[in-house]
Structure 1
């Protein structure tokens, strides 16, 4: 069964628009409309921009700018996280490699001492 798109009415700067959207997208579309309406009202109230088209362009530019800043911050933090994870992985690998060397050296010492029947050096808590 194919779902028909919804016809959703949104209001931006006191003007209504009918938008087709999927049922599962309606909450995000409503939130987007509220965000845009809020930004446009802020710009209109500032009095520096006149005309609905210009207000809409300024609001769109501001929202796009915010999106780019968020993407950059996310990319930067993901890079930091990747670097930190690599450092932790290196430390773990180094510790495991060191632990294997210690086990080998302890086992070698116990064999040299004639304690061949003990398994204790191989067991870890």
Structure 2
């Protein structure tokens, strides 16, 4: 890889090194911090032992959060599209009234 740098992140007190583009360093650090928090949450709220099991549980929780947020976003988009369609109808009615008055 050209123009990459090595970034060290800590997840559950274990160090990991990754290579990434300079413009991706901040996102990598933020992602690692988020993952660390989720894994610590799993570790403190369960009797799950083993880094691999904790990682899988955290990944499932993150996937569930992502899917829920995606569904919520889709519902907001659909609602907004419906409202836009409704407002366009009202605008068309108002424009038609104005046109009929001007005739």
TM-score of the superposition, structure 2-length normalised? 0.94
Q: Structure 2 stretches of 5 or more lacking a match?
A: none
1:72 corresponds to 2:81: no
State yes or no: 1:17 paired with 2:16. yes
Counterpart of 1:95?
Answer: 94
Count of residue pairs the alignment pairs up: 103
Structure 1: 5+ residue runs without aligned partners? 105-125
Distance 2:2 2:19 in 1: 12
Structure-to-structure mapping, 1:1-125, within 5 angstroms: 3-104=2-103
Give the alignment's Cα RMSD to 1 decimal.
1.3
Distance 1:44 1:73 in 2: 28
SS of aligned partner of 1:86: helix
Cα distance in 2 between the residues matched to 1:65 and 1:101 = 54
Cα distance in 1 for partners of 2:47, 2:89 equals: 55
Partner secondary structure for residue 52 of structure 2: helix
Q: For 2:5 and 2:81, how far apart are their aligned partners in 1?
A: 42
The higher-RCO structure (CA 8 Å, 6+ apart) is 2
TM-score between both structures, scaled by the size of structure 1: 0.78
